[in-house]
Amino acid sequence: MRIKCYLLGGGTNGYLVWDEESREAMFIDPGAYAQAIADDIRKEGLSLKYIVLTHGHGDHIGGVPRLSAAFPAAKLAAGADEAPLLSDPGQNLSREICGEAVAPKTNLPLKDGDSLALGALAFRVLATPGHTPGGISLYADEIDRELFDDEDDGYTGTLFPGDTLFQGSIGRTDLPGGDFETLKNSVRAKYYTLPDGTIVLPGHMGGTTIGLEKAQNPFVRA
């Protein structure tokens, strides 16, 4: 598995993820469009199979129209319960964040336990509501050995939690549809049951691991 992170609009991390053998790829959370994304996809000879939205806030969806136009064969995937937020610019805050109304329509609704495949790679869909009603996360029992190549560190898998979990923090719950207790339950039930060596690549700021967050996160303790 290979991963490349892009710092996009609103300080959002967007991730290009691909399988080296099949060259199938997905892009997670295009908060804004950057020409470098399309350039890298073409330079690496990748086939963009999915555009995945962990949730529907404007700083994670602003680049969807242009990225979808550039790669029309890519399926747009998001949590099935996130459709109302995605379709309503007044709720997803795209006007305030992006300067224009964005209301993407997904053609691949996802639910807990679904799987997305990139060649031999499998990404498990975790329903993780709380930051938004239909937020999802992706987990794979793989890591990018080009980025995390020290096997002695005990890394065992990779989690893309969107804005549900950060290094030493969690996503805000004061926006439409947010709920603090629901978010805490998502973190404990879906994240803290993963191996401690799971690398966490969040929607903002730097990465962490499940083991570190279980031990140190002041908002949700294991």
DSSP result, 3-25: EEEEEEGGGEEEEEEE-TTT-EE
Listed range (11-25, 64-78, 91-105, 114-128) with the worst mean pLDDT:
91-105
Which pLDDT value is given to residue 109?
A: 98
| Centroid of chain to Cα 2 | 15
Q: How confident is the model at residue 37 (pLDDT cuts 50, 70, 90)?
A: very high
Q: Are strands 12-18 and 24-28 parallel, antiparallel or unpaired?
A: antiparallel
Q: Taking CA 24 as the corner, what is the angle to CA 155 and CA 62, rounded to the nearest 5 degrees?
A: 85
| Strand residue runs (E) in 38-178 | 47-53, 75-79, 108-110, 115-118, 121-127, 136-140, 157-160, 165-166, 169-170
Q: Is residue 72, in this structure, part of any structural domain at all?
A: yes
* 157 or 148, greater pLDDT: 157
Q: Is residue 222, in this structure, part of any structural domain at all?
A: no
Q: Which domain holds residue 117?
A: 2-216
pLDDT in tens, 80-129: 999 999 999 999 999 998 889 999 999 999 999 999 999 999 999 999 99
Residue 96 exposed, middle or buried by CB count within 10 Å (0-12, 13-18, 19+): exposed
Nearest Cα residue to 53 out of 86, 84, 22, 28: 28
| Residues facing residue 204 across a β-bridge | 12
Q: Is residue 182, in this structure, part of any structural domain at all?
A: yes
Q: What's the total number of domains in the chain?
A: 1
Q: How many other CB atoms are there within 10 angstroms of residue 123's CB atom?
A: 25
Is the Cα dihedral 187, 181, 56, 98 positive or negative? negative
pLDDT at 151 over 80: no
Q: Is residue 39, in this structure, part of any structural domain at all?
A: yes
What is the CATH number for 134? 3.60.15.10
In whole angstroms, how far apart are CA 74 and each of 51, 52, 64, 115? 6, 10, 11, 16
pLDDT in tens, 133-143: 999 999 999 99
Q: Is residue 168, in this structure, part of any structural domain at all?
A: yes
Q: Is residue 221, in this structure, part of any structural domain at all?
A: no
Q: Is residue 122, in this structure, part of any structural domain at all?
A: yes
pTM of the predicted model, to two decimals?
0.97
Quote the CA–CA distance of 57 and 94 in Å, as a whole number: 7
216: part of which helix (H) or strand (E)? helix 210-216
pLDDT at 10 over 80: no
